[in-house]
């Protein structure tokens, strides 16, 4: 049975990063163009035209692999128009073809996501995405922060949870995960009242 992983997240939550990671495995058919170009619009994602018309999935070249990944943010830009993927129709067509469907929902600090969406799109859309994900059954949640904190160990866990291959040993992973773009949203706090409490409780009691 062929397996299709539908990966989705609020716009700005790491769709491109995770697409690159999944595309590394030689047995997985994913968004391989991202391994050469840093960023590509979702209107050029390999399954983009099938999201527009899921009935065309019957003509896709399924013989090339047993593992497939498609990535769509919510919303994604389709010819300049913010569009929410039609998850139900897409999944129904895949299941009619006899394929197994799995879901991965991407997560990132909500404050960063809202700031990024406001900067890029003019207003936050994260709540729209969360509402859309009620359609997805038994998703595995993927964390941008845990990825950068634990690296390959986290990816091993994700692979086990999803039952989906990830090229954890690929040397290109180090390059893909080199930049933690969360850092540009932070500035150090010089002092906070709880710092004094923490210092006090770390001493031995008299």
Q: Is the pLDDT of residue 205 over 60?
A: no
Please give the structure tokens belonging to residue 138. Answer: 């038994």
Please give the structure tokens belonging to residue 184. Answer: 């540009």
| Residue 185: per-residue pLDDT | 87
Place 186 in a pLDDT band, splitting at 50, 70 and 90: confident
Q: Is the pLDDT of residue 191 over 80?
A: no
Does the reported pTM lie above 0.75?
yes
Contact 155, 147 (CB under 8 A): yes
Q: Where are the domains of the chain?
A: 3-179
The fraction of the chain above a pLDDT of 90, given in percent, is: 82
Q: Is the pLDDT of residue 206 over 60?
A: no
CATH label, 3-179, candidates 3.30.420, 3.30.70, 3.40.50, 1.10.3470: 3.40.50
| Residue 26: per-residue pLDDT | 97
Instruction: Determine the number of helices (DSSP H) and then strands (DSSP E) in the chain.
Output: 9, 7
Give residue-wise pLDDT tens across range 129-165. 999 999 899 999 999 999 999 999 999 999 999 999 9
Q: Is the pLDDT higher at 35 or at 204?
A: 35
Classify residue 123 as exposed, middle or buried by CB count within 10 Å of its CB (0-12, 13-18, 19+).
exposed
**E strand map for 43-144:** 67-74, 76-78, 81-83, 100-107, 140-143
| Residue 203: per-residue pLDDT | 60
Give residue-wise pLDDT tens across range 9-33. 999 999 999 999 999 999 999 999 9
Give residue-wise pLDDT tens across range 52-86. 999 999 999 999 999 999 999 999 988 888 999 99
How confident is the model over 107-116, as a mean pLDDT? 96
Q: Identify the weakest region by mean pLDDT among 98-112, 126-140, 176-190.
A: 176-190
The fraction of the chain above a pLDDT of 70, given in percent, is: 93
């Amino acid at each position: 049975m062929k397996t299709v992983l539908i990966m989705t997240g609020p716009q700005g939550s790491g769709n491109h990063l995770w697409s690159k990671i999944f595309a590394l495995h030689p047995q997985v058919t994913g968004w391989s163009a991202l391994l050469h170009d840093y960023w590509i619009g979702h209107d050029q994602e390999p399954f983009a035209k099938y999201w527009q018309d899921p009935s065309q999935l019957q003509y896709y070249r399924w013989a090339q692999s047993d593992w497939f990944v498609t990535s769509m943010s919510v919303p994604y830009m389709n010819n300049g128009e913010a569009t929410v993927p039609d998850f139900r129709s897409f999944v129904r067509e895949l299941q009619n073809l006899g394929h197994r469907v799995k879901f991965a929902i991407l997560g990132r600090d909500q404050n960063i996501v809202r700031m990024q969406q406001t900067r890029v799109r003019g207003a936050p859309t994260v709540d729209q995405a969360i509402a859309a994900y009620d359609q997805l059954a038994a998703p595995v949640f993927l964390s941008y922060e845990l990825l950068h904190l634990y690296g390959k160990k986290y990816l091993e866990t994700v692979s086990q949870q999803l039952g989906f291959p990830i090229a954890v040993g690929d040397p290109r992973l180090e390059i893909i995960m080199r930049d933690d773009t969360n850092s540009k949203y932070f500035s150090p706090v010089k002092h906070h009242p709880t710092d004094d409490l923490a210092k006090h409780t770390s001493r031995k009691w008299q």
